[in-house]
C-alpha cells in the first residue's frame, strides 16, 4: 500500500509519483544522504509500502531510513539501545508515520523544545504509546536493527484495542 502521507514532514501527498515514493518533491530533493550533527545519516533505503524501519551503527555514526520531523525529547537526534531522549524521539517519529497511515488525526500540539512557539502537531495515540514502543522495540543495542512495518502495525492495532502485544522483533 502506497502512502498518502510524506514520511519526512508528514504532510498529505496527492501526486502519484509522490505517493509512490512516500515523500513530496521538496522532501525528496533533500533526501539523499543527510547528516545531522555529522553523526546521524538518513541514507538507508525506505520502502513506502512495507515501511520497515532500518537502523545501523557504523564507524561514521548512526544510519536510518526515516527523518526526525518531530523533535521533542532530543535535539541531538535519534538513537537506540537505552531508555533516553534519542530513542523516545525515534519512537515518536515512527509511531506518527504509522498512526497517520491508519487515519489518526494530528490533534495534539507539542511545545517546541527550542522555546520558539509550538512544535509538531501529532496524533494523541502517538504520544500515549511512544514510551511503550521505545521500551518494546528500541532498547536493544544491536549494531543493525530492522523493525518490520507489519510488526509495528500489529503492535499498534493490539495496543489501540487494549490487548497486550506479543512482540518478536528478532
Mean pLDDT of 107-136: 82
Does 160 score more than 60 pLDDT?
Answer: yes
Mean pLDDT of 20-36: 56
Query: Is the pTM for the entire model greater than 0.85?
Result: no
Least confident of 108-122, 123-137, 140-154: 108-122
Burial class (CB in 10 A: 0-12, 13-18, 19+), 14: exposed
Cα 70 from Cα 105, distance rounded (Å): 16
- Give one DSSP letter per residue of 10-72, joined into a string: --B--SHHHHHHTS-HHHHHH-SSEEETTTEEE-S---TTT--EEEEEETTEEEESS-----S
Does 30 score more than 60 pLDDT?
Answer: no
CB 126 within 8 A of CB 92: yes
Does 118 score more than 50 pLDDT?
Answer: yes
Predicted pLDDT of residue 153: 97
Per domain, the residue ranges of the chain are 34-160
Instruction: Encode pLDDT of 125-143 as tens digits.
Output: 999 999 999 999 999 999 9
| Sheet of 40-42, strands arranged across | 34-36, 40-42, 61-64, 53-58, 144-147
Amino acid at each position: 500500500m502506497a502512502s498518502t502521507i510524506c514520511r519526512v514532514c508528514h504532510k498529505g501527498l496527492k501526486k502519484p509519483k509522490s505517493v509512490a515514493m512516500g515523500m513530496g518533491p521538496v522532501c525528496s530533493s533533500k533526501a539523499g544522504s543527510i547528516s545531522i550533527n555529522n553523526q546521524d545519516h538518513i541514507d538507508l533505503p525506505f520502502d513506502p509500502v512495507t515501511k520497515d524501519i532500518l537502523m545501523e551503527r557504523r564507524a561514521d555514526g548512526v544510519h536510518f531510513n526515516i527523518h526526525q520531523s518531530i523533535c521533542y525529547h532530543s535535539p541531538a537526534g535519534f538513537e537506540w539501545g537505552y531508555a533516553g531522549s534519542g530513542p523516545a524521539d525515534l519512537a515518536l517519529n515512527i509511531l506518527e508515520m504509522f498512526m497517520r497511515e491508519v487515519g489518526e488525526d494530528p490533534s495534539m500540539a507539542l511545545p517546541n523544545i527550542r522555546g520558539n512557539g509550538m512544535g509538531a502537531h501529532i496524533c494523541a495515540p502517538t504520544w500515549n504509546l511512544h514510551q511503550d514502543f521505545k521500551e518494546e522495540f528500541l532498547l536493544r543495542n544491536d549494531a543493525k536493527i530492522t523493525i518490520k512495518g507489519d510488526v509495528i502495525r500489529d503492535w499498534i492495532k493490539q495496543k489501540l484495542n487494549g490487548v497486550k502485544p506479543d512482540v518478536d522483533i528478532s
